[in-house]
Chain A
Amino acid sequence: MHEQESLMTYREGLAKAMHDAMEHSDKTIILGQGVADHKGTFGTTLGLASKFGDSRVIEVPLSEEGITGICVGAALNGLYPINTHIRADFALLAMNQLINLAAKYKYMFGGLFEVPMMVRLVIGRSWGQGAQHSQSLQSLFAHIPGLTVIMPASPGAIIDTYAHAVAHHRGPVISLEHRLMYDLSFSSANEPEILGETPFSQRRVARGDDVTIVSTSIMSLEARRAGEWLLDQGISCDIIDLHCVSHIDSEVILESVNRTGKLLIADTSWRPFGVAAEICRIVCENHPGALKAPAVSLGMAAAPCPTAKALEDLYYPNLTTLTDAIAKLVVGKDDHGIKLPSEASMADVYKRFKGPF
């Protein structure tokens, strides 16, 4: 291990980010179901209630819309609320406050108000979570002007971005945290390079010349693993972790696509109307001639999530399908002759494999 290298899990990154946010200012409050209980939101808010008091770490009723509105009001009156949902799906009960109120409060009043707040959503995917406990809803939120939507894919990204949001960003931030990453360990030496001015910027996971891979959340880890596998076989991938899906720096995407001529998007959600569609829009509108082959996208099957393992494994992309898709795109034919890793289930892999990344 390199001297300066340190290891940290995603969960530890979240716990540190929450602690830092509370310590940064006494205006920070955390509200959510389970934030003050003995499990502490999957361990990310453990100990904060006893350290900072239950007036700042607030256990809430199951009242998603009301609590979100309360966050808006608290933000209007000088606090920085962080609202947690142990499943992203539960935030659908708060869509009125998130979309009609929080996202619009600055613009709708011509800049009279700001609503600095953060909503942490856990994408519940592990196994068998089914249709209402596993959804990856980034494009739903990213569609709404006024919301900043992030999908941090490493502890470094969490710590930097949350600190930036709490200290400097004056609008609502929605963060989607992927539960499959919580126990994974990450090496500080591998922290992706930030491709821009602020922690909201895109990140480069790997540099390569044969194909551009734009990925989100845990698919950035999968893209890294696929890229490492393919590098041994002579294919180099330029992997961009989107990180902030609502605010994409087109130049970053176009620079890469211009270089590689090939584009693959690997998202954690459905492909239609989502991140994949948005990246294709950016390329088509700005540089349609850059692509030397049709773009390819991977995401969830266009159905609600089934619980049966036999179907769930088909529902999500995995290392094998991702590597195969990249190989097909780079080689230019289905019969690409590239050896593929054998991994039919991402969830199974992360039960055993805990990193470090």
Chain B
Amino acid sequence: MTQSSARQADTQAIPAEVSIALYRTLYLTRRCEEMIVKIYPDDEMKTPMHMSMGQEAVSVGVCKAIGQDGDVLASYRSHATYLAKTENSHAFFGELHGRVNGTANGKGGSMHLADVENGMLGSTGIVAAGIPVALGAAYANKQKQNGRVVATFFGDGATDEAAFWESLNIACSMKLPVLFVCEDNDLAVHTRKAERQGFASLTDVVRQYACLVYEDDTNDVESIYALTRAAINRVLTEGKPAFLNIRTYRYLEPCGTAMDTDAPYRSSEEDTFWKNRDCVSLQRERLLASGVQKDAITELETTIDSSIEASVSAAKSAAHPSPEMLYDGVFHEKG
């Protein structure tokens, strides 16, 4: 793992309010998922959960760097990306509960979260399938000359896929304002990169393309934020896509809410290594070290916890979709 002094210099330039905002969103994301872990056994959320826990810094750092000036598409491990982009835990829990106040009136579930107004253009249950969609959105932005970027999130498993390589070439050939964000947790379900990839380094391959390449292995949200800001600037000024390879770590099983730390594909050294630099704790410690009062942080946390409780209550009391809604949204509807 590398420690870059340049990177530390970058993060020092981050204003205090941004640091706090990053923590707020990290905390929101983590606590929403902890709530899921807590109430999933009640069986009221009938949707398979691909949990972001451990990986939140990627979504939060990138989405905060994009802000309202861009769009994102997530993989099926969509919770952190959705929450980081929208901060809307109400619609989030509504959707997980299959209720009408959800992001898709309950039709999408955990793998298909979206909020178009807030630049969350969707998430898909098919590995790598969102990447070309992001290219299309970026192409539209380029045509409109609106200065927006599109970030497409995917795991390292997606880089095994044909669609990833086709998209990378197309984005570079067409000089699209798109950020490829690889959430590199080294795992496709239970399979390590070394068992799937014949090449030594993905970024070495990607460097063969006409794009900008960034790497980060800090799990530090501010580092990821700063790196993304830098990437966006260059994407917009140089007119080429950027590829961000961000090393991270998945705490839970690939699908479901349980820990699987003792599963044979895991290593306890790796687990300890990453949990010792948990992204939420890192940012909390940074705030304390920078002089933010502990009470202020606790207050912020309490507010978020209450809002999550409220979101869950709202979801539980929201209406189920009505039978008439079954066919709504099919492209060709009976006129």
Residues of A at under 8 Å CB distance from B? 33-34, 37-39, 59-66, 89-90, 92-93, 127-133, 301-304, 306-312, 314-315
Nearest chain-A residue to B253 (Cβ)? A39
Inter-chain contact B321/A310, CB cutoff 8 Å: yes
CA distance A301 to B127 in the complex (A): 26
Residues of A within 8 A of B110 (CB): 128, 307
Inter-chain contact A311/B325, CB cutoff 8 Å: yes
Residues of B within 8 A of A37 (CB): 189-191, 265
- Interface flags for B151-192 (1: CB within 8 Å of A; 0: not) read 000000110111100000000000000000000000011110
Rank and list the top 7 A-B pairs by shortest CB-CB distance, nearest first: A308-B106, A307-B109, A308-B98, A61-B160, A310-B320, A132-B125, A128-B47
Inter-chain contact B125/A131, CB cutoff 8 Å: yes
Inter-chain contact B161/A93, CB cutoff 8 Å: yes
CA distance A62 to B160 in the complex (A): 5
Inter-chain contact A130/B320, CB cutoff 8 Å: no
Any A CB within 8 A of the CB of B200: no
Nearest chain-B residue to A129 (Cβ)? B48
**Given that A130-B112, A314-B323 are contacting pairs, would A33 and B99 also be in contact in the complex, using a CB cutoff of 8 Å?**
no
Inter-chain contact B326/A132, CB cutoff 8 Å: no
From B46, B107, B126, B264, contact of A93 by CB (8 A): B126
Residues of B within 8 A of A130 (CB): 47, 107-109, 111-112, 125
Inter-chain contact B99/A93, CB cutoff 8 Å: no
Any A CB within 8 A of the CB of B124: yes
Q: What are 23 inter-chain pairs, A to B, with CB distance below 8 A?
A: A34-B191, A37-B265, A61-B160, A62-B158, A92-B126, A93-B126, A128-B98, A129-B48, A130-B109, A130-B111, A131-B107, A131-B112, A131-B125, A133-B125, A306-B326, A308-B106, A308-B321, A310-B106, A311-B106, A311-B107, A311-B325, A312-B98, A314-B326
Inter-chain contact B125/A303, CB cutoff 8 Å: no
Residues of A within 8 A of B265 (CB): 37-38
Any A CB within 8 A of the CB of B196: yes
Residues of B within 8 A of A309 (CB): 46, 98, 320
Residues of A within 8 A of B160 (CB): 61-63
- Interface flags for B244-288 (1: CB within 8 Å of A; 0: not) read 000000000000000000011100000000000000000000000
CA distance A303 to B191 in the complex (A): 34
Inter-chain contact A132/B188, CB cutoff 8 Å: no
Inter-chain contact B126/A61, CB cutoff 8 Å: no
From A63, A303, A306, contact of B162 by CB (8 A): A63
Inter-chain contact B46/A133, CB cutoff 8 Å: no
Apart from A34-B189, A310-B320, what are 4 other A-B pairs with CB-CB below 8 Å? A62-B128, A128-B98, A307-B47, A307-B112
From A61, A301, A302, contact of B196 by CB (8 A): A61
Inter-chain contact A310/B98, CB cutoff 8 Å: yes
Number of residues of chain B lying within 8 A (CB) of chain A: 45
Nearest chain-A residue to B98 (Cβ)? A308
Residues of B within 8 A of A312 (CB): 46, 98
Taking CB atoms and an 8 Å cut-off, the chain B residues in 20-57 that contact chain A are: 45-48
- Interface flags for B190-204 (1: CB within 8 Å of A; 0: not) read 110001110000000
CA distance A60 to B263 in the complex (A): 19
CA distance A89 to B127 in the complex (A): 11
Q: How far is the CB of B84 from chain A (nearest CB, A)?
A: 22
Any A CB within 8 A of the CB of B330: yes
Nearest chain-B residue to A351 (Cβ)? B43
Inter-chain contact B107/A62, CB cutoff 8 Å: no
Inter-chain contact A302/B327, CB cutoff 8 Å: yes
Q: How far is the CB of B112 from chain A (nearest CB, A)?
A: 6
Residues of B within 8 A of A59 (CB): 191, 195-196
Nearest chain-A residue to B105 (Cβ)? A308
Inter-chain contact B189/A302, CB cutoff 8 Å: no
Inter-chain contact A307/B108, CB cutoff 8 Å: yes
Q: How far is the CB of B82 from chain A (nearest CB, A)?
A: 15
Nearest chain-B residue to A303 (Cβ)? B330
Inter-chain contact B321/A90, CB cutoff 8 Å: no
Q: How far is the CB of A254 from chain B (nearest CB, A)?
A: 34
Inter-chain contact B126/A132, CB cutoff 8 Å: yes
**Given that A306-B326, A310-B98, A314-B323 are contacting pairs, would A62 and B111 also be in contact in the complex, using a CB cutoff of 8 Å?**
no
Residues of B within 8 A of A314 (CB): 323, 326
Interface centre among B124, B157, B191 (most CB of A within 10 A): B191
CA distance A64 to B128 in the complex (A): 11
Q: How far is the CB of A351 from chain B (nearest CB, A)?
A: 9
Nearest chain-B residue to A96 (Cβ)? B162
Residues of A within 8 A of B263 (CB): 38
From A90, A301, A304, A311, contact of B126 by CB (8 A): A90
Residues of A within 8 A of B158 (CB): 62
Q: How far is the CB of A121 from chain B (nearest CB, A)?
A: 14
**Given that A38-B263, A89-B125 are contacting pairs, would A301 and B109 also be in contact in the complex, using a CB cutoff of 8 Å?**
no
CA distance A316 to B98 in the complex (A): 16
Inter-chain contact B98/A307, CB cutoff 8 Å: yes
**Given that A132-B124, A307-B106, A309-B98 are contacting pairs, would A34 and B190 also be in contact in the complex, using a CB cutoff of 8 Å?**
yes
Inter-chain contact B330/A304, CB cutoff 8 Å: yes
Inter-chain contact A307/B162, CB cutoff 8 Å: no
CA distance A130 to B327 in the complex (A): 14
Interface centre among B111, B125, B195 (most CB of A within 10 A): B125
Taking CB atoms and an 8 Å cut-off, the chain B residues in 97-155 that contact chain A are: 98-99, 102, 105-112, 124-128
Inter-chain contact B191/A33, CB cutoff 8 Å: yes
Inter-chain contact A65/B191, CB cutoff 8 Å: no
Nearest chain-A residue to B157 (Cβ)? A62
Residues of A within 8 A of B99 (CB): 308
CA distance A315 to B327 in the complex (A): 10
Q: How far is the CB of B176 from chain A (nearest CB, A)?
A: 23
Nearest chain-B residue to A92 (Cβ)? B126
Interface centre among A33, A37, A61, A302 (most CB of B within 10 A): A61
Q: How far is the CB of B101 from chain A (nearest CB, A)?
A: 11
**Given that A39-B190, A59-B196, A93-B126 are contacting pairs, would A306 and B48 also be in contact in the complex, using a CB cutoff of 8 Å?**
no
